[in-house]
Chain A
Amino acid sequence: MSDTAGALQHPWPDLRMQRAGVGLGMWMFLASEVLFFGGLMVSYAVYRSFNEDAFRIAGAHAQIVYGSINTVILLTSSFTMTVALRAATANVRQATLLFLGITAALGIAFLVCKGLEYREDLKEHLFPGPQFPLSPPATAMFWGFYWAMTGIHAVHLTAGIAVVLVVWTLFKRRVIPVQGSTMEGVAIYWHFVDSVWIVLFPLLYLAGRS
């Protein structure tokens, strides 16, 4: 247990409480995030109920191959994140570093894949604007949501990757011990970003294929 020295932060009385507190704080932040994405998804739901046909036509143009590959990548990253958290709780330092590294790599892979998909989309002028090829007009609405939703999700994922890399470096340099409360918060956040994608996938890629 000597490895946990320095893990206890002001003002916590002990590490168990601190870990629970970090977890609680992160869950509350995620409650906030749920409402954040909730605003977006409710808007999507309202417009889709008004423009069913347009959303079906527009949704058929979403690149489902890229979307599916990305779903697999992100779900796998949640698995490796869980392994990293378990390893950290058990104070197995090497495994924590390894699986955290894989998690970050999978996150980056998702972003690369997303970038390739964006390139395909732009080739077809699917960004709402003068050259937008689809009709009726409400198809542009679907694609507005496509860019907003995937963009905001990508920003969240980028933040997640950055945090994982920072934490990885701190662990590597033994600035903070792996068994502290850090991994708790990081892991919960990562799973959240993953679960947002699980909701976005059917909304964006399956809407035109039902």
Chain B
Amino acid sequence: MTDAALPFVPPLDIWRGSYLDEGHTIASWLTTTDHKRIAILYALSITVFFFIGGVAIGLVRLELISPTGLFLTSDEYNRLFTIHGIIMVWFFLVPSIPATLGNFLLPMMIGAPDVAFPRLNLLSWYLYVGGAAFTVYVLLSGGVDTGWTFYPPFSSEYSHSNVIPAAVGVFIVGFSSIATGVNFLATIHMLRAPGMTWLRLPLFVWSMYTVSVVMVLATPVLAMSLLLIVAERFFGLPIFDPSAGGDPILFQHLFWFYSHPAVYIMILPAMGVVSEVFACFARRRVFGYAFMVFAMLMIAVVGFMVWGHHMFVAGQSPVADLIFSFLSFIVAVPSAIKVFNWTATLYRGHIGFEAPMIYALGFLGLFTIGGLTGLFLASVPIDIATTDTYFVVAHFHTIMVGGTVSAFMAGIHYWWPKVTGKLYNEFWAQFAAITMFLGFNVTFLPQFVMGWLGMPRRYHYYPDVFQIWHVLSSGGALILAAAYLMPLVYLTWSLFYGQDAGANPWRSTGLEWQTPSPPPKTNFVRPPRVDADPYEYHDFGRTEETGGEARARPQGEAT
């Protein structure tokens, strides 16, 4: 704290050490409370789980090339798509952006030295990795065949697979989510730098704020619904047992009360990331900043009131169907506001097509496709016709996976120089970004078609007429796999052979860029003050730059 009063910049050699130099042993990483190091721990563990989930669905897609299967029994098939669903939803998508980029950047973006509760932050990583590793062990050793949704009475009475341990693992990981959410909320409320008012927060911080609210308020309901499944299966308490007056539909209500907002847990951070990227690479202020903030808040709030649209065919009353349908249409309004505002941000911008921007534009396309097909499904009659078909699968994969993963990759590339201090290979990154966009579309557009034609999801065998679409989709999955593997190679390569990035290679205005790369342990050399709005690239309607190359040039050390 005494540094704040110093009238001069400290000599270079005092602060040259970055957070990466605070200790090189594994023990120093496993006991760190530095939010930046915890973010790296998360990033590594999430990547491992992502590839396990990816291999599982790779096998499923391979199996589905033939209408009668190739090499799996139906039981193995069920277990594989359950592995894919559980891992991808809870151990990859939900923590993906908040736990990695959020952890690393949130304190830096608001000018704080760390999150509010650093030890809780480390605990949440241990909960995450412990719960997730346990669940993955259960899934791989014996397996679960209920799908990721754990619907009773199958999960409570009839399934002979390891439902209880899997549920317990997910339950534990839920607490990691809640801890992260609480930590972020307290950080944003209490630790903003002087001058960082609420409406000066970067949109990524706002997205972390809204996502934290959803994590804190929705996750416990999932915890309770899983606990009730365990209570019924293990202790024999007849909570969802129809013979004692129980109602399996009640589980669906509780489950979707979490799992629908969970979709917003996945997409809100993605929205935050692309807002940063669009502004920086179009050299424009984000169009309609306040609307962007309120749109996110509205998505978070209304997102809690639409869960019933998962249950249009479950025997809900028609009145409930109508209400949930209406509210689902309503939630499209703030989403559309965001899409239009991003587009307006690009308008007359000085757009550079660096890899983060290509990923972000990919997000925009996939989010729009996923969002518009979501409107189809929000309408009761269409949903009744397409329930449990590949149309639904394609819809939510396009938005949750296409959207979120594109934005996650955009964020990883955008902040890679900040996190590691190195520049990645731009050509390969652009190539991977384009490949990924193509891969997503080749995988999921055929699924829209076959779903519309009536191909049900989760079926192992199917009529021959659908084979062409399945083969196309599996081919797309292969392209996607290549697009996922490429960054692993060139990003790792950049760690060893990449050029030094300098403090601010993108000439971004964000607070996180006003400090050396990689940042020192305390994030800033001196406690920052904020005296401007975010995204001050230049005035509306005027561009001042001459060429795209200028942005890739490392700038001098920032103060």
Contact = CB atoms under 8 A, between A and B. Distances in A.
A54 B238 CA distance: 14
Nearest to A148: B231
Given A21-B186, A24-B186, A31 B227 contact: no
Given A32-B182, A33-B220, A21 B228 contact: no
Interface centre among A47, A51, A144 (most CB of B within 10 A): A144
A105 B227 CA distance: 29
B237 A24 contact: no
A6 interface: no
Contact of B221 (A10, A36, A138, A147): A36
Contact of A140 (B107, B223, B244): B244
Given A25-B183, A39-B220, A128 B114 contact: no
B124 to A, nearest CB: 12
Interface in B224-259: 224-225, 227-228, 231-232, 235-239, 243-247, 250, 254, 257
Nearest to A20: B190
A141 B190 contact: no
What DSSP secondary structure best describes chain B's contact surface? helix
B190 A137 contact: no
B237 A11 contact: no
A35 B244 contact: no
B245 A36 contact: no
Interface string B179-213: 00111011001110000000000000000000000
A141 B220 contact: no
Contacts of B223: 36
Contact of A39 (B113, B221, B243): B221
A24 B220 contact: no
Contacts of A35: 217-218, 220-221
B60 interface: no
A4 to B, nearest CB: 16
A39 B225 contact: yes
Nearest to A139: B244
A149 to B, nearest CB: 10
Contacts of A11: 107, 112-116, 118, 191
B178 interface: yes
A169 interface: no
A16 to B, nearest CB: 11
Interface in B391-412: none
A39 B118 contact: no
Contact of A152 (B120, B186, B218, B227): B227
Given A46-B247, A141-B239, A28 B182 contact: yes
B219 interface: yes
Interface centre among A37, A39, A51, A140 (most CB of B within 10 A): A39
Given A25-B186, A128-B238, A138 B113 contact: no
Given A144-B237, A147-B235, A50 B245 contact: yes
A13 B254 CA distance: 41
B254 A43 contact: yes
Contact of A10 (B113, B236, B245, B246): B113
A21 B218 contact: no
B238 A140 contact: yes
A29 B237 contact: no
Nearest to A152: B227
B244 A128 contact: yes
A1 to B, nearest CB: 17
A32 B217 contact: yes
Contacts of B250: 43, 46-47
Interface in B250-274: 250, 254, 257
B117 A137 contact: no
A25 B228 contact: no
Contacts of A138: 244-245
A17 interface: yes
B1 interface: yes
Interface residues of A, number: 40
Contacts of B227: 148, 152
Interface in B105-140: 107, 112-118, 120
A36 B228 contact: no
B119 to A, nearest CB: 8
Interface in A101-148: 128-129, 136-138, 140-141, 143-145, 147-148
A141 B223 CA distance: 20
Contacts of A141: 238-239, 244-246
B155 to A, nearest CB: 16
A13 B178 CA distance: 25
B246 A36 contact: no
Contacts of A72: none
Contacts of A159: none
Given A25-B182, A148-B237, A31 B217 contact: yes
B72 interface: no
Contacts of A39: 220-221, 224-225, 228, 254, 257
Contacts of B369: none
Nearest to B117: A25
B210 to A, nearest CB: 14
Contacts of B190: 17, 20-21, 24
A40 interface: yes
A82 B250 CA distance: 39
Contacts of A38: 220-221, 224
A140 to B, nearest CB: 5
A148 B220 contact: no
A10 B239 contact: no
A119 B483 CA distance: 61
A32 B244 contact: no
B332 interface: no
A13 B1 contact: yes
Interface string B129-168: 0000000000000000000000000000000000000000
6 contacts: A21-B190, A32-B178, A36-B220, A138-B245, A144-B238, A145-B237
Interface of A: 10-13, 17, 20-21, 24-25, 28-29, 31-33, 35-40, 42-43, 46-47, 50-51, 54, 128-129, 136-138, 140-141, 143-145, 147-148, 152
Interface of B: 1, 33, 107, 112-118, 120, 178, 181-183, 185-186, 189-191, 216-221, 223-225, 227-228, 231-232, 235-239, 243-247, 250, 254, 257
